[in-house]
Amino acid sequence: MTPSQSPEANSEFEALGLDPRLVKTLSALGYEEPTPIQQQAIPPLLAGKDLLGLAATGTGKTAAFALPILQGIDTGGKTPAALILVPTRELAMQVAQAVHRYGKELGVEVLPLYGGQAFGQQLKVLKRGVNVVVGTPGRVLDHIGRGTLVLDGVGIVVLDEADEMLDMGFSEDLDAILAAVPEERQTVLFSATMARQIEAIARRHLTDPVEIRIVGADLPEEEAPKVQQMAYVVRRSHKLAALGRILDLESPEAAIVFCRTRNEVDELTEALNGRGYRAEALHGGMSQEERDRVMKKLRTGSAELLIATDVAARGIDVAHLTHVINYEVPSAAKAYVHRIGRVGRAGREGVAITLSDPREHQQLRNIERLTKQKVKVARIPTVADLHARRLELLRASLRETLLGDDFHRFRVVVESLSDEFDVVDIAMGALMLAQEASGGDSPEEMEEIPDATLWEQKPAAKGRGKGSASGKDRPTQRGGRKPGASGGSGAGTTRIFIRAGRSDGIRPQDLVGAIVGESGIPARQVGEIQITDRFSLVEVPDTEVDRVVDALRGSGVRGKKVTIRPERPR
């Protein structure tokens, strides 16, 4: 299906003051309405105000700052007009992609700048001329030092995920970068938490900012419904497989799966139908007639899954709904409460399941806090779980058959084999045949789905040490909290040896950046770091060692392949 456009959707984005070309792009992406952070942040940003925003990943904050930036850009300019600073290489790529996607109609040139990528390539693009730079602090500072990044024309700076950047020891780098940008500029700071350090950096660099706290700002008035709430943490690339596995285990009578955009609804519906589910799409781009037809299919049971956006699902009522599934964490607590309120009505039991990317986990925690209800994080069912469930179902239907009286015509088969085989063996063989006849296991069902939950994650500790690259004789230490364990060094953690050190220009923040960006573990899980002249040691939770080593081996450190391995036992 091609993305469809609806006039109502456009008008809400237009009402925020956005350029029609941007609105057109959003429509083509399948966005139906602005998220709360977009509603609150876009107008003041368009008006040129500084902004301090408290919002986690998954709230739509990237578009909240990217759209106003794009609107103000003169694409004829050669040097960057906007600078977006982010903590990791992964995020630099993601945000640059998002800005590029939103700015397509305007022809805006975007460049991500991160460590590990050759300078030459970055220089070539810089010389050609870019409008927006999205970079990690280390690499941006390197370019400033070399005189290869001209910031004289920058009119807006965004510090995205500022708390992560401070956590990684980038505070001084940020100060240095901001000092290199003209004072007459707009400054925007986004953070998932409002630590004292964030307030301090906001005081230093923002002028009379508009403050937006999306956490708590949209607390739903009605009480959250009492349904069983569960979440699975899974990377985007494994979501479809995880959803299939969950549907197989839960076997819902009828379920709604919520997506953020129309395009996602269409893609997911197609993918699920391809996997043998009876799924129907429902979104704001469909005519009333089409919607009625879909709802009828769900009511009569000829469809079991409804894949929908929030806008389209508003006001619909399906009595026999047993499950609500969030394919992504909703962008606001209010949307979450609305969605899960569709099950568990009139005393019936309902289940609400959320699939969360590791990066969206903070947003899920925010929702939990706001609704004052616990969302239990469960492990993705394994192949063994699926088999156990199938056996359970088989046992139930066999028992049903045995309670009936319809199976005696098979007596001749069993008796003729009973001289040669044990009767229990015959029964087991018969069950195997029955299961194979009903389709057996498809190859995708036999694959384990990686669970991205960081099980040992503990609440964040206060007062972590700051990275410091000073000190000649003693190794540089970043006094980190001990990840995943209490007490002395090493309990529940392993040190990773990296053959690159101070003489290679390695700083603690480079290591944290590489580890967080490449392996996806949060910065707070990176423990103590020691940097000597020739090598470095980084402490990570035992459970993450393989992930971190594999990721760093793949990416290298500062663009170089070096020896990386778990430290030999001390």
Q: Which is nearer to ligand AMP, 97 or 530 (CB)?
A: 97
- Going by C-alpha positions, the residue among 83, 262, 46, 92 that lies closest to residue 177 is 83
For residues 100, 102, 107 and 109, what is the CA-based torsion angle, rounded to 10 degrees? -30
CB of 99 to ligand AMP, least distance (A): 11
Q: Which is nearer to ligand AMP, 25 or 171 (CB)?
A: 25
CB of 350 to ligand AMP, least distance (A): 25
Q: Which is nearer to ligand AMP, 34 or 244 (CB)?
A: 34
Q: Residues 327-342, buried b or exposed e (16+ Cβ, 10 A)? A: bbbbbbbbbbbbbbbb
Neighbours of 509 (CB within 10 A): 28
CB of 306 to ligand AMP, least distance (A): 18
Cα 155 from Cα 72, distance rounded (Å): 9
CB of 288 to ligand AMP, least distance (A): 22
Q: Which is nearer to ligand AMP, 359 or 507 (CB)?
A: 359
CB of 246 to ligand AMP, least distance (A): 21
The amino acid at 34 = P
Q: Which is nearer to ligand AMP, 58 or 501 (CB)?
A: 58
Q: Which is nearer to ligand AMP, 59 or 509 (CB)?
A: 59
Radius of gyration in angstroms for the set of CA atoms belonging to the chain, rounded to a whole number: 27
Q: Identify the three-state secondary structure at position 149.
A: coil
Burial of 387 (0-12, 13-18, 19+ CB in 10 A): middle
Neighbours of 212 (CB within 10 A): 21
Cα 287 from Cα 142, distance rounded (Å): 54
DSSP-assigned letters across all residues of 282-320: E-TTS-HHHHHHHHHHHHHTS--EEEE-HHHHTT---TT
Cα 64 from Cα 160, distance rounded (Å): 11
CB of 66 to ligand AMP, least distance (A): 8
Q: Which is nearer to ligand AMP, 12 or 504 (CB)?
A: 12
- Going by C-alpha positions, the residue among 176, 177, 218, 211 that lies closest to residue 191 is 211
The amino acid at 268 = L
Q: Which is nearer to ligand AMP, 61 or 524 (CB)?
A: 61
Q: Which is nearer to ligand AMP, 339 or 481 (CB)?
A: 339
Report whether 294 contacts 306 (CB < 8 A): yes
Question: Applying CB under 6 A, which residues contact ligand AMP?
Answer: 31, 34-35, 38, 57-63, 260-261
Angle at 363 between CA 63 and CA 273, to 5 degrees: 80
